[in-house]
Each structure stands twice: as C-alpha cells, then as structure tokens.
Amino acid sequence: MSIRESDWKAFKRLRAVALERFSQRVLGECQQICSKRDATAHERYGELYGLIHERDREMALAFDHFSRSSALSCLRIIRMHNLLTEAEVAEFSKETQCATSVVR
C-alpha cells in the first residue's frame, strides 16, 4: 500500500524526530550499563556490545529503508517503539494511523 502525499511529508519530518529519540534512548541505556558499579569492565563491555548490536538491528528495521513504498511498515515499527507522541501520530491521516496502529 502506498502512502498519500500529505502523510509522506509528515513521515519525512517525523522520521527524523523518531530517529533522534531512538538514539537518545540507546545512549541512555549505554550510560546505565557503563555506570554499573557491580560489574567488571569486561562484563560491562560485553553487555554494551550486545545492546548496541540489538539496537542497531532495530534501528535498521525502522529507519534504513527510506522510501514511500516502505514508509508504512517503517512507521509501524517506529510506533511499536513508542517514538512518536499521540499529537505527532494525529498528524497522519486516519487511514495511515489505522494501517500503522500497534496493539499494546
């Protein structure tokens, strides 16, 4: 299914917002791991490595395919990660909101 022009314009803008939020979230998780006092440096490194590997995979699914044909599936993943506010989601047409809704 293709995304309508008005939704594509909103997606392009809000995708950047969501990417920044995702990145900030991951950096926060990294800080938590690095500040653990009850783990050795090597243990923290291993945990950090695993986290970055997993988050990189998640980031790729949500943000690497930047095209109109993949916008709906990317938006659905972005919404699964709760990276947009309700007000931001409301900028999309009802059709796009329904097509990308996430059951929680």
**Which residues 6+ apart lie within 8 Å of 17 measured at CB?**
83, 84, 88
Tell me, yes or no, whether 62 lies in a domain.
yes
Of the pLDDT bands very low, low, confident and very high (cuts 50, 70, 90), residue 65 is confident
pLDDT at residue number 35: 97
Tell me, yes or no, whether 87 lies in a domain.
yes
Tell me, yes or no, whether 94 lies in a domain.
yes
Residue-number span of the structural domain to which 81 is assigned: 5-99
Tell me, yes or no, whether 79 lies in a domain.
yes
Integer CA distances (angstroms), 65 to 29, 39, 46, 72, in order: 25, 37, 29, 11
Residue 21 has pLDDT above 80, yes or no: yes
pLDDT at residue number 24: 98
